[in-house]
A and B are shown apart, each in its own frame.
Chain A
Amino acid sequence: MLGASLGAIGQGKFISKNAYISFYSSTPLEDILGESNEAVTILNAETGEIAFQALMTTFHFKRALMEEHFNENYMESTKFPKAKFNGKIEGYNSSMLNGPVSDIKVTGILSVHGVEKTLTIPAKLGLEDGKLVGSSKFKVTPENYGIKIPSLVRDKIGKEMEVTVKAYYAPFGQ
């Protein structure tokens, strides 16, 4: 249960069930882009805690074969179906939810492929056309998460992946 990591579901929480997440790598041989619009995220307005989860199987690629390799060979999606991030906004203040979009930092634990790492990522949070929106762009190194990339395709896949997330939050239970 996703809400469990943030305590009981109730007031003072914001949710997005169709958040965007992508990862991108570019090499002279190939650009790789995997995108999902099915991530779920909850933001606790009282504490500034953020939980974000994505099912690996919801990532789409331009080529079907890439999608297959991603799930079967690299992410082992059957064994590790979800990527998770549980973090907290640094210097959190509830006014961050009511102002224009501003830069924030979020520190937390990213769990990918069954490996957990503590990260501090730059993000943006605030109101855009009256809607609460959160976004972030940061880099991850697949090898740090025990993801093995065969030497045959090593030159096609970047050492680092650029991860982009964006969520439009709505108050929970409304």
Chain B
Amino acid sequence: MFFKPHADINKLKAEFKFDASGLISEFEKDENAATAKYSEKVLEINGELKSKTKMANGTDLLILEDEMQGISCQLDSSWASTNQPIIQSLEIGKSVTIKGICKGYLMEIKVSPAIVLK
């Protein structure tokens, strides 16, 4: 147990599937209830890609649905390192589906680490 590895998001099965707007409205309606329900759970989310950037530390960051108050997905670094072509092919304004661990709500819904499914 001491050397128990970090969860591999590739292998975890999504417990909930959402359209980005549906998940956002659940958090807007009742943040505490949504946090209790989804925090640390694996979610599959489909939504419109609003932004795609590389953070200063090299992490790829995708934002779905709303640039300011949408869903922020920091991609899993080991997945991203072997899947750069997939990340590069993502287009702003197009639909994207990600799988990741929901961390809760801080102005936007934080999902990390995440991987791109399609």
State A33–B24 Cα separation when bound (angstroms). 32
CB contact under 8 A between A2 and B107, given known A37-B74, A63-B3, A64-B7: yes
| Contact partners of B74 in chain A: CB under 8 A | 18, 37-38
B107 touches A37 (CB 8 A): no
Q: In angstroms, how far is the closest chain A Cβ from the Cβ of B39?
A: 6
State A164–B25 Cα separation when bound (angstroms). 33
Residue A165 at the chain B interface, CB threshold 8 Å:
no
Count of residues in B whose CB is under 8 Å from the partner chain: 27
Given A39-B106, A58-B110, A63-B3, 7 more pairs with CB closer than 8 A:
A17-B106, A40-B107, A57-B39, A63-B2, A64-B7, A78-B36, A168-B56
Residues of B contacting A: mostly: loop
State A1–B3 Cα separation when bound (angstroms). 38
CB contact under 8 A between A2 and B106, given known A37-B57, A63-B3: yes
| Contact partners of A20 in chain B: CB under 8 A | 57
Q: In angstroms, how far is the closest chain B Cβ from the Cβ of A40?
A: 5
